[in-house]
Amino acid sequence: MAFNPSPQLIAEGNQRAIARAITWVENQDPKGIALLEKLHGHAPVIGITGPPGAGKSSLVNALVLYWSSLGLKTAIVAVDPSSPFNLGSLLGDRLRMPGLFLDPKVYIRSMSARGSLGGLTASIIEVCDILKHAQFDRIIIETVGVGQSEIEIAGLADTTLVLTVPESGDEIQTLKSGVMEIADIFVVNKSDREGSDTFANHLQKLSHQRSTIDAWEIPVIKTIATRNEGIISLSEAINAHQKIAHLQGRHIHLLAEKVYRIVQRDKMKQHSLLEIKDRIAQEIKNGDFNLYAFAKKYC
């Protein structure tokens, strides 16, 4: 008999129920939609983005271990590059987070970006809703770090960390990357490397110029994640930002778009793409096909 996760099991932190529910929404199973309508919960979402090689997984490992030592429960959604063959997660087991797998206060889910241009899987909102219902104290989303198109993380996360390293380049390149618009906190990791102080100072000056909320001056936190240096300061900065996160309305746009897609999906659920293709082929064969007049039949 198939195992069906219930809202109660998810709320109790049953990892099998959480995993099955996430699989449902990833695969757009109708049972997943019905389940989502019964879920409630609140937990701060922290997005971590940055270029490959900046040490995102090492930073997550150190930060979550620190939170765990304080008794906090954390869920990690690690969005990995997609396999071109099966859309699976190439980094699957997240072996770069060895300290977390046996910790009962930590849940890790590795997900494929499945071709998403923004670096986030299309079902990421639903996954976060499941984890919020599971009563985690923190939810971390670690993204693939695909560059400027990754600004969608700023709409989903309550607090967005942009991870850099001293070799990230000069201030002009930093501005070009577009990260000034999405960062709530800058993290200069591997700050034992040459040039880290100069780079951090440039970043601080630029972040001061681009700060958009009077109540929040974007901090620049220096860390060495592999040595757990700067982790407490980073955690304190995240906690401080959470107190003013409600002043930011960037997530409203993302939620509005999600509602729009849900309405579209519901409106079109009685039609299949194959049926539409067949009807288009028939009308083209009959002549005088007009795309907009054809689409209006489904409105």
Mean pLDDT score, 87-116: 66
**pLDDT score, position 238:** 97
What pLDDT was estimated at residue 84? 40
CA distance 234 to 236: 5
Record the pTM. 0.81
Give the confidence band of 16 by pLDDT, cuts at 50, 70, 90.
very high
Q: What is the rounded CA–CA span in Å between residue 69 and residue 90?
A: 30
pLDDT in tens, 141-151: 988 665 544 56
What pLDDT digit, counting tens, does each position of 27-37 carry?
A: 888 899 899 99
Average of per-residue pLDDT across 3-26: 93
Under 8 Å between Cβ of 132 and 158: no
With tokens 């609140």, the residue in question is 42
pLDDT tens-place string over residues 257-298: 777 777 777 777 778 778 888 889 988 988 878 888 888 888
Every domain of the chain with CATH number 3.40.50.300 lies at 40-248
Q: Residue written as tokens 């996430």? A: 22
The region of weakest confidence among 55-59, 102-106, 125-129, 172-176 is 172-176
**Which numeric CATH code is attached to 40-248?**
3.40.50.300
Arithmetic mean of pLDDT, 60-76: 95
pLDDT of residue 225 exceeding 90, the answer is yes
Residues 6 or more apart whose CB falls under 8 angstroms from that of 270 comprise none
Classify residue 147 as left (phi > 0), alpha (psi -120 to 50) or beta: left
